[in-house]
Amino acid sequence: MPGSEWEKIIRMEREQKDIFFSIHPQSPIPPEEREGFQGLKYYPTQEEYRFELELHKHPVKKKVRMTYTRGEEREFIRWGEFQFKIQEEEQVLQAYKNSAEEDQLFIPFRDPTNSEETYGAGRYLDLHADSDRTEDRKWILDFNKAYNPWCAYNKDYTCPFVPPENWLKTPIYAGEKMVKKG
């Protein structure tokens, strides 16, 4: 769906998220900051950060413990990996699941934009089997949909730190940018 239709969908999703963040009772934006909320900041949409990829499932599904921002830990299943190129450089990202039964993949990642242009602890992608797959069953890994964890907006939330195996050396100039306060 690349091209103008794809860009319209991204723009619509971003607008819906801004509305949710500005008015919904479950928004991570603290209530006292919602009136002044001007919307999230994003990189322009770019097709070069959208990939249709095979998921290389790991034959042995290891359990990985991720540490959260408040010190607690939670177990994830290291389900498979995506292999792709950005700026002619090979990249590998691990995809995780909460349980073997779920149809969603969680891809946390860090890159050189962290702390400068994007949230310092990294960003996330969630892939859903029903909406993020092509007709030929490839996964759509679209960094234009990369988002900040809710702990970036509010200290009352806790979020997993990105495992070192998902620290990319190539900058990802796509998705949500850093939250600017005040």
Report pLDDT digits (tens) over 117-138.
Answer: 999 999 999 999 999 999 999 9
Is the predicted pLDDT of residue 3 greater than 70, yes or no? no
Domain annotation covers residue 156: yes
Q: Read off the pLDDT of each residue in 29-48 and give the average, rounded to a whole number.
A: 93
In angstroms, the CA 129 to CA 78 distance is 17
Domain annotation covers residue 100: yes
Q: Read off the pLDDT of each residue in 140-162 and give the average, rounded to a whole number.
A: 95
Domain annotation covers residue 128: yes
pLDDT at 1: 47
Pairing relation of β-strands 89-97 and 50-53? unpaired
Is the predicted pLDDT of residue 17 greater than 80, yes or no? yes
Domain count, the chain: 1
pLDDT at 179: 75
Domain that holds residue 158: 42-166
Domain annotation covers residue 134: yes
Domain annotation covers residue 24: no
- Say if residues 143 and 50 touch (Cβ distance below 8 Å): yes
- In this predicted structure, which of 34-38, 106-110, 141-145 has the lowest mean pLDDT? 34-38
Domain annotation covers residue 2: no
Measured CA to CA in angstroms, residue 146 lies from 10, 122, 175, 177 at distances of 11, 10, 5, 9
φ, ψ (nearest 5 deg) of residue 40: -80, 160
